[in-house]
Amino acid sequence: MRVLVTGASGCIGHYLSERLIRETAHELFLLVRDPSRLHVDLSSRPGVHVVTGDLSKRDAFQDILGQAEALVHVAAVWGGPEAEAINHHATLELVRRLDPDACRVVQVFSTASVLARDGTFLSEAESLGTPYIRSKARAARALPALPLAERTTVLYPTLVLGGGGGRPVSHFSNLVREVARWGWLARFFSADGSFQWIHAEDIARVSVDLLEHPPDGPGPHHVVLGGAPVTANAALAALAESQGRRVHPWIPVSFPLAELLIRVFRIQMAAWDRYCMRQRHFIYDGAVTPADYGLPVFCPTLREGL
């Protein structure tokens, strides 16, 4: 099967490309803007092609799009004026340009931030979201109207850990690194909140399995990727333990205290940040890991992730 992977040089893209090269015999076309940022073994087997291209200039790789039997669309822009053009418009245009007679499987990566707990679309994602979240929400809403909707699976990762060893570090991993600098202080706080997370290697395992065994029935299919919910207090405890510290959570973080900390540390808060601070619980019914597909889980606990 001829598989086109966009965003191959990103964090998830690296894990996914490595797994496709190692575990499948598909002919792979790895689309990247800068080939020097792609650190995968291209010589381990034949049939792996690096395609230099930009999603804003789709005509340059239209021949590959027209011949693709599967599309795994991971590429995204995280902010700025390009977010709407790439995450929304280019995503829809990529799917439109696929040949319905050739393409059997379409995977589009979104983010769980656009969903409510029950899997419905979150209205605040478009009204309050960052350019990244807003554009992802608009694209996910529009996918059912496209010609290949019945063959499409939309993947919604929760918070993603991963990177290192030549792979880009995920945004959540970078955030954890920043928080870890304050680990000596964070161990004294407690907070009401919860979230779900998943390692990029486990995302790759699910993605490849869904590529080999697409969901039954008409699509688009929606798959939220995340492990069991973790409370904020459990996360702070895991962080402290990973640094060899004991936790002493005797300062509860109330909204007034949070506002004080925001002012003291001059933290810039966008509308979406404040919504998240008040929402507090970002968990999703029916989120899956590789275990739900009978596959081993690479990183089952937050402690191991940290």
Instruction: Name the one residue in this structure whose structure tokens are 């021949």.
Output: 63
In a domain, 304, yes or no: no
DSSP annotation of 119 reads S
CATH code at position 123: 3.40.50.720
Please indicate, yes or no, whether the overall pTM of this predicted structure exceeds 0.75.
yes
Average pLDDT, the chain: 93
In a domain, 306, yes or no: no
In a domain, 141, yes or no: yes
Claim to verify: residue 157 and residue 247 sit in the same structural domain: no
Burial 107-141 (b: 16+ CB within 10 A, else e): bbbbbbbbbeeeeeebebbbebbbbbbbbbbbbbe
Q: Which domain holds residue 41?
A: 2-163+196-227+283-299
Q: Is the pLDDT of residue 255 over 80?
A: no
SS3 105: strand
Burial 6-36 (b: 16+ CB within 10 A, else e): bbbbbbbbbbbbbbbbeebebbbbbbbeeee
pLDDT single digits (tens) 84-121: 999 999 999 999 999 999 999 999 999 999 999 999 99
pLDDT single digits (tens) 131-141: 999 999 999 99
Claim to verify: residue 78 and residue 201 sit in the same structural domain: yes
Distance CA 112, CA 131 (A): 15
Q: Is the pLDDT of residue 198 over 80?
A: yes
DSSP annotation of 56 reads T
In a domain, 81, yes or no: yes
